[in-house]
Amino acid sequence: DRMLRAARPGARSVDEITGSRRMRRMRKADWSRRLVQENRLSVDDLIWPIFIIDGENRREPIDAMPGVFRLTIDIAVEEVEKAARLGVPAIATFPNVDHSLRDQTGSEILNPDNLLNRASRAIKAAVPQIGIITDAALDPFTSHGHDGILRDGTIVNDETVRQIAEAAVLQAAAGADIIAPSDMMDGRIGAVRDALNEAGFGDVAIMSYATKFASAFYGPYREAIGTAGLLKGDKKTYYLDHANSEEAVREAEQDVDEGADMLMVKPGLPYLDIIRRLKDELGLPTFAYQVSGEYSMIKAAAAHGWIDGEKVMMETLLSFKRAGCDGILTYFAPEVAALLNKRG
Ligand code: PBG
């Protein structure tokens, strides 16, 4: 203060500038920082996405996702048990379906005993206390990697919707607690709701991948489920343009009207503005999917020693809470849960 005046006589003191309001007062000690902390990440916020493969007693590494593996059902059951013990409330399952079973229409999704449904049954039987979210989209089942039925170069909407609604019923019958349609077809939420209700699954919830953006952040996931080499063209004719937020709100509103119980924004970190808008404008339970590319970027930079991976992981997850999320789908879930439990 004296220095300031000395440097420039007549200059206002900092107290005059701030009106004596000192923001740093509450930042000076760990106890006071904890006391005024507005948002917190808890184990209850975590949903763990896992990849399933056929076979037994195997974990296949995924090159682009260090630390993430494709798991055979028996191993997945063990890992999910561990996650449940850590307090993780729910998982989301993604199958890497044998390529011989993939076709133009993704017909394997209608097999009640497909890999995804077998995994749900096994996990439900062994770990009934964890919530199971299944992704109702055709991409793991189609020979072209698109989320819908491909005809003459177009993803046909209505036929895809009918198939997804049928598949949702099979997924519910296999033990899924939440159906998460991730295909971005028009009318899918209402169709899935109707089909579930008619089949007696009125208590199965729907988490809509409401605002799923056409994004380059899904790259590593496509390696994980084996669609990377298959996909021709892009998904821009059905996913949202990442330049748009008004459209994202309208898309989410539509899903709420059709019966969505929960909304998801995907990818996560580049779309915090969308999370905040949906939470404020629609007020539904809102989730972010911290997608594969977000995970891989953190892992890669950390492996180079360029960032502190653990700190960046925690900072990104807390950002989702600050933006208004009720929970986050993240490949970090078991690691974060262990860390949060340790910190107590
Ligand atoms: C598609 C689907 C995608 C992801 C999950 N389900 C995107 C896609 O392949 O287009 C991405 C998840 C991730 O990147 O972690 N049904």
- Distance (angstroms) between ligand 1 centre and the Cα of 147 equals 9
- Distance (angstroms) between ligand 1 centre and the Cα of 85 equals 27
Mean pLDDT of 227-236: 88
Share of the chain above pLDDT 90, in %: 94
Q: Is 251 annotated as a binding residue?
A: yes
Contact by Cβ (8 Å): 98, 56:
no
Whether 212 is catalytic is yes
Whether 281 has a pLDDT exceeding 70, the answer reads yes
- Distance (angstroms) between ligand 1 centre and the Cα of 6 equals 61
| Residue showing tokens 């990104």 | 316
Q: What is the pLDDT of the chain when averaged over all its residues?
A: 96
186: closest CA among 221, 168, 161, 162? Answer: 161
Q: Which two tokens stand for residue 3?
A: 């220095």
Express each pLDDT in 159-169 by its tens digit. Answer: 999 999 999 99
Coil vs helix vs strand at 312: helix
Whether 7 has a pLDDT exceeding 80, the answer reads no
Instruction: Supply the ipTM of this predicted assembly.
Output: 0.98
pLDDT of 17 reads: 95
Coil vs helix vs strand at 340: helix
Residue ranges and CATH numbers for the domains of the chain are 44-343 (3.20.20.70)
Mean pLDDT of 318-334: 98
- Residue 231 pLDDT level (bands cut at 50, 70, 90): confident
Whether 279 has a pLDDT exceeding 90, the answer reads yes
CB of 294 closer than 6 angstroms to any ligand 1 atom: no
Whether 234 has a pLDDT exceeding 90, the answer reads no
Q: Which two tokens stand for residue 338?
A: 């262990």
Q: Which atom of ligand 1 lies nearest, measured to the CA of 225?
A: 9
Q: Which atom of ligand 1 lies nearest, measured to the CA of 49?
A: 15
Which residue has a Cα nearest atom 3 of ligand 1?
218
- Going through 96-182 in order, the beta strands assigned E by DSSP cover 131-136, 149-151, 154-156, 178-181
Whether 266 is catalytic is yes
